[in-house]
Structure 1
Amino acid sequence: MHRSILFFAALLIAAPAAAAPVEEVIAAERAFAADSQSESLKTTFTRFAAEDGIALRPFAILGAHEFIASWPDADSAGSLQWEPAFAGAALSGDLGFTTGPYETADGGHGTYLTVWQRQADGEWRWLIDHGAPGSRTPAAFDAPEVALLGPSANPANTEADGMLELMAADTHVDSSLAHGWAAIAEMLSDDARVMGMEADTAIGRTAAAGALAARPEPVAAHYEGGGVSAAGDLGWTYGYADWREGEETRRAAYLRIWQRQGDGWRIVVDNFAPFPPR
């Protein structure tokens, strides 16, 4: 019996450790980016999109596959490159995100934000792929390590409970934006990322104050949807924000990544991406 115990213990020690969910999410993002260098963006984005993925357009929320189908079939391999700089995953291993810099072949740049979900077959597919054109993220493409979101120490009791709490938190923020961006600042985690309005990606509460000050106000924002992990510790929300610019009404889409921390839901990434003027 003693020898059997030692034998099985040796097998466990020798067995390779399973990759942590966040490592799988990072690997999926990197595979997504790598494939785009050898095939068209249309082909790559289609293959990595979840069947229930979405695309935020100015006046409609489209299915991701429907939106990608409208792209031209032209060879666009290598026209866009990106790299994760910050990532996180749920304790349940079913939901994750990455964000980092992107560059286009014609010199454009910005910061992307992608939400990933593990599918029934175990593969990771993106639910929404968003970005902030013109903003820079403080990480080079050859950055040796990706910064990681620490695990939640206070997940919700159930996924359903977490979703109800998250909807309430996001709706509260949206309703408060009519009085300024302080509502966002109050809900940020200590190491939050704030991007948008062609400003550099701000990391942390202090830097975020400057990024938020560059945004228009007041805005009328409204929640459209989102989701929560099975563990009730990680979630995402999206919606629209409208404001007046002279005689014109402008619109932006927002995407927020949330984590349930010791004092409740906190924003860990906030992206505010204005659409071009009509």
Structure 2
Amino acid sequence: MMNKFLYTIVAASITIGAYAQKSDGTTKSLLKAEKEFAEILAKNGAKVAFTTYSADNGLVFRPNPVNAKTYYATQGDTKDLSWTPAYARVSKSGDWGFTTGPYIYKGTETAYGEYFSLWKVNDGKWQLVLDLGTEHNKPLNKPTNEFIEPKEFYKPKFLNDKQREAGANIIATTEKTLNATLKSYGISAFAGFVNPDVRVLFPGYEPILGKDKALAFFNSMISKVALKTTKIDKADGGDFAYSYGVAAVDYKADLRESFNYVFVYERQADHNWNLISIVFTPADR
């Protein structure tokens, strides 16, 4: 099995060599890498695509987070997955970005949903760091594309691991405060932590866009959320950060369910960190 997998990668290497996935610090370059990733999958299959484009420590949520290269080395191949970015952002440091949009999986039955992918730059190339998705019925709404370029470029020249850790700790404190507030005041606590342009991906629903709609959605069905953070990472530009972990969701219908979550934070002018992306996907517990 492994030899066959490696042979498949080598056989496709000539084709893949034409794809650079290079980063020039722009959202446009990230979208280009994402497009090339989708083209490789359509032509050579998911094994080759994810092995080529994932970072060595990249994770896919299937449903729980697992190393992408390890996972696809042992999975049956598929060319039936396609997706289209609808929203993309890149940090002003040019080394960190994310995309999200609709996907279609044409298996035994056609499945629809929304994907979320987070990318980082390594040796000048975009690499997939996190990939997950939420499934819903055939969409009724056509997505409105929004691809936002960084307003400026800023990357500290002498940033070390200790400073990066200190930066991540700021986000950890924000998330701890959010978690404590959610426990004390229920789901309405999200109101103080989300941006006006927040995007929520939740299983069974098309994207929920904007603070008002997000809060109305949460308040209609959820009473409490408890977060257990696994990892936090901050862009070197200091404008974006992400976290992922496990969330216990208590519904108003007296039901509890476990989810994996990914949050994306954006630093505001007042130095607070607000959520601009909230993704929940079912966890296997």
What TM-score, normalized by structure 1, do the two folds share? Answer: 0.79
State the AA in 2 paired with 1:31.
E
**Which of 205, 208, 222 matches 1:202?**
208
Structure 2: how far apart are the matches of 1:23 and 1:207? 29
Unaligned 5+ residue runs, structure 2?
1-22
Does the 8 A contact of 1:95 with 1:229 survive in 2?
yes
1:188-227 alignment to 2 at 5 Å?
Answer: 188-213=194-219, 216-227=222-233
What is aligned with 1:117? 120
What is aligned with 1:251? 258
Does the 8 A contact of 2:92 with 2:154 survive in 1?
no
Identical aligned pairs, as a percentage?
A: 24
Structure 2: how far apart are the matches of 1:272 and 1:117? 21
What is aligned with 1:266? 274
CA RMSD between the two structures: 3.0
State the AA in 1 paired with 2:84.
E
How far off is 1:33 after superposition? 1.4
Secondary structure of residue in 2 paired with 1:198: coil
Structure 2: how far apart are the matches of 1:137 and 1:238? 29
Q: In 2 relative to 1, CA 161–233 (structure 1 residues): closer, same or farther, beyond 3 Å?
A: farther
How far off is 1:213 after superposition? 3.0
What is aligned with 2:147? 147
How far off is 1:201 after superposition? 0.8
Structure 2: how far apart are the matches of 1:154 and 1:40? 37
1:47-126 alignment to 2 at 5 Å?
Answer: 47-56=52-61, 61-72=65-76, 74=77, 76-77=78-79, 79-105=80-106, 106-119=109-122, 121-126=123-128
Deviation sequence 1:211-237 (CA, Å, 0-9, x none):
323554323321110211111111110
How far off is 1:109 after superposition? 0.7
Secondary structure of residue in 1 paired with 2:42: coil
How far off is 1:147 after superposition? 3.4
How far off is 1:64 after superposition? 2.1
How far off is 1:19 after superposition? 5.0
Structure 2: how far apart are the matches of 1:80 and 1:203? 24
Q: In 2 relative to 1, CA 84–57 (structure 1 residues): closer, same or farther, beyond 3 Å?
A: closer
What is aligned with 2:10? none
Deviation sequence 1:71-114 (CA, Å, 0-9, x none):
12x4x21x111011111011111100001111111321111111
Alignment of 1:46 onto 2:54: no
Structure 2: how far apart are the matches of 1:249 and 1:207? 23
**Matched positions, count:** 252
